[in-house]
């Protein structure tokens, strides 16, 4: 198709691809010397928490099918692909002797991607703490900070000659929220003080890994991936505006500001100090964070956060929670994905990009996740066995229009990655909601079939627009 026939044309060499994670994709969670991580352990001890009793050993089997999957990446138009390295596959005890079978596997994946002209984007941590290190306190523990830097440095040394896009963490606020505030992920602790410490150590590990990467004089770039969720106030009333600002400080700027600007927002520090929740840290930690900001920022966007001023005074005798500062606002008339319960608000992606342009030095960035989970997609299989997921194509188009608008207005956006390439295991939800460009049939030995959206994505990438 000629460029003149396209309505939305993207910049030359735009990154078209998708994102995945080791625990959600690889399967074989006990294979070839891999040590247990927190998901393996939680499934063994509390399988009832997982939808249909499906655990991390039975994810999409990328570990054994990566060659087939990389061919499918090519068939669906990818010129880039983000995956994560499993820390506990590389280091079964979290530190010490590296697992050579893991090194071989990741070398094979990287080399096959490059053979197919697909650039590997590698993320180091995606919610999968090695169990041995969780038993030391996980991100609460200073010893785990140092173990992570050792792990990161090993990956840079082994793979950095070919991988030129590195990311320290994916969505570091999620282990804070889900693991230490709301009980959704292991260790399912409700403790704001510990949550703050986990957040600080996560940010410190990111800066220390960046410092390590740069010390090796490798040719690539290193960044972080954040789920920047815009906080919209119910109204322009000062109390609603204050509620939205505080939600933004806690859930977005707590990682965005130190990653890009090298410092935590002063107002956030004052909030934590007032409540007695400042983290413990060592002399020099803040210097390391200040001096090791990111080259590149990945942005995951699914839904906005809508908030309002508190309706009632919080109970001072109950555990302290972020909702001390705001209430969730259920906006009338919003568009919702009924399967996930999430609001669909496409302009949010534009608002994020403009915020980065205006307040964060227009840092080089890309959309690192954007996607739509739907249940029972087999309802939409046509006579040729292909899922007709036109709703997903519309979802992508409606978001890409706003990405395009941001680029037209000068935002420094280099790519768009969807979540995800192949239907994968979604933590506690297992396979309840499907997100892939390619379907997986669990009853037919994980058979892969490209969906309508996968064919459309190939066309999108080939034309560099739509």
Does position 407 have pLDDT exceeding 90, yes or no? yes
Whether the CB-CB separation of 54 and 426 falls below 8 Å is answered with no
pLDDT for the residue 5: 87
Q: Sort strands 296-300 and 438-441 into parallel, antiparallel or unpaired.
A: unpaired
- The yes-or-no answer on residue 119 being catalytic is no
- The yes-or-no answer on residue 171 being catalytic is yes
List the catalytic residue out of 26, 171, 177, 245. 171
Whether the CB-CB separation of 83 and 25 falls below 8 Å is answered with yes
pLDDT for the residue 30: 87
pLDDT tens for residues 327-349? 999 999 999 998 888 999 999 99
CA distances from 27 to 86, 89, 160, 435 (A): 11, 11, 25, 17
pLDDT for the residue 29: 87
pLDDT tens for residues 153-202? 999 999 999 999 999 999 999 999 999 999 999 999 999 999 999 999 99
pLDDT for the residue 73: 98
User: 57 versus 68: which is more confidently predicted?
Assistant: 68
Does position 265 have pLDDT exceeding 70, yes or no? yes
Q: 291: helix, coil or strand?
A: helix
1 falls in which pLDDT band (50, 70, 90)?
A: low
Q: How many CB atoms lie within 10 A of CB 262?
A: 17
284 falls in which pLDDT band (50, 70, 90)?
A: very high
Domain ranges of the chain: 15-377+406-437
d(CA 11, CA 413): 9
58 falls in which pLDDT band (50, 70, 90)?
A: confident
DSSP 320-374: P-GGGS-EE---TT--EETTTTEE--THHHHHHHHHHHHHSTT--EEEEE----B
pLDDT for the residue 238: 98
pLDDT for the residue 11: 97
244 falls in which pLDDT band (50, 70, 90)?
A: very high
d(CA 10, CA 136): 47
pLDDT for the residue 428: 86
Pick from 255, 286, 114: nearest CA to 177: 255
List the catalytic residue out of 119, 177, 369, 377. 369
Pick from 208, 83, 199, 198: nearest CA to 151: 208
**Please, what CATH class does the domain formed by 15-377+406-437 belong to?**
alpha beta
d(CA 256, CA 338): 30
Percent of the chain with pLDDT over 90: 95
* Residue tagged 């691809």 (tokens): 17
311 falls in which pLDDT band (50, 70, 90)?
A: very high
Mean pLDDT of 27-34: 92
Q: Residues 6 or more apart from 375 whose CB is under 8 A from it?
A: 339, 432, 433, 434
pLDDT for the residue 50: 92
Q: For the chain, give the mean pLDDT.
A: 96
57 falls in which pLDDT band (50, 70, 90)?
A: confident
pLDDT tens for residues 90-128? 999 999 999 999 999 999 999 999 999 999 999 999 999
């Amino acid at each position: 198709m000629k460029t003149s026939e396209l309505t939305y044309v993207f910049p030359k060499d735009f990154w078209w691809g998708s994102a995945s994670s080791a625990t959600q994709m690889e399967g074989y969670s006990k294979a070839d010397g891999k040590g247990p991580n927190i998901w393996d352990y939680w499934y063994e001890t509390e399988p009832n928490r997982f939808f249909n009793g499906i655990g991390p050993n039975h994810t999409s089997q990328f570990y054994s099918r990566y060659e087939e999957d990389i061919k499918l990446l090519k068939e669906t138009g990818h010129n880039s692909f983000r995956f994560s390295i499993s820390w506990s596959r590389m280091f079964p005890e979290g530190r010490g002797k590296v697992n050579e079978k893991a090194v071989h596997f990741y070398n094979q994946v990287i080399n096959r991607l490059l053979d197919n002209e697909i650039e590997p984007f590698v993320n180091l941590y995606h919610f999968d703490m090695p169990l041995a290190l969780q038993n030391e306190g996980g991100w609460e523990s200073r010893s785990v900070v140092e173990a992570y830097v050792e792990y990161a440095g090993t990956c840079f040394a082994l793979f950095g000659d070919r991988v030129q896009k590195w990311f320290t963490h994916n969505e570091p606020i999620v282990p804070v929220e889900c693991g230490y505030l709301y009980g959704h992920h292991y260790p399912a602790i409700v403790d704001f003080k510990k949550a703050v410490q986990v957040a600080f150590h996560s940010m410190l590990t990111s800066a220390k890994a960046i410092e390590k990467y740069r010390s090796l004089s490798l040719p690539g770039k290193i960044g972080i991936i954040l789920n920047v969720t815009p906080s919209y106030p119910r109204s322009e009333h000062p109390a609603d505006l204050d509620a939205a600002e505080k939600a933004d400080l806690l859930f977005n700027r707590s990682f965005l500001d130190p990653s890009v600007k090298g410092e935590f927002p002063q107002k956030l520090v004052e909030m934590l100090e007032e409540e007695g929740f400042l983290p413990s840290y060592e002399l020099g930690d803040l210097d390391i964070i200040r001096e090791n900001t990111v080259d590149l920022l990945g942005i995951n966007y699914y839904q906005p956060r809508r908030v309002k001023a508190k309706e009632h005074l919080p109970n001072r005798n109950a555990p302290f929670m972020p909702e001390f500062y705001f209430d969730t606002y259920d906006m009338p008339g919003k568009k919702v994905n009924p399967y996930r319960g999430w609001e669909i608000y496409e302009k949010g992606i534009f608002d994020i990009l403009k915020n980065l342009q205006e307040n964060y030095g227009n840092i080089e960035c890309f959309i690192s996740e954007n996607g739509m989970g739907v249940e029972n997609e087999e309802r939409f299989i046509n006579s040729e066995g292909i899922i007709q997921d036109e709703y997903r194509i519309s979802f992508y188009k409606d978001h890409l229009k706003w990405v395009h608008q941001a680029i037209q207005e000068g935002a420094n956006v280099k790519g768009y990655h969807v979540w995800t390439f192949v239907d994968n295991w979604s933590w506690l939800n297992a396979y309840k909601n499907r997100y892939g460009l390619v379907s997986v049939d669990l009853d037919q030995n994980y058979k892969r079939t490209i969906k309508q959206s996968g064919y459309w994505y190939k066309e999108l990438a080939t034309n560099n627009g739509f």
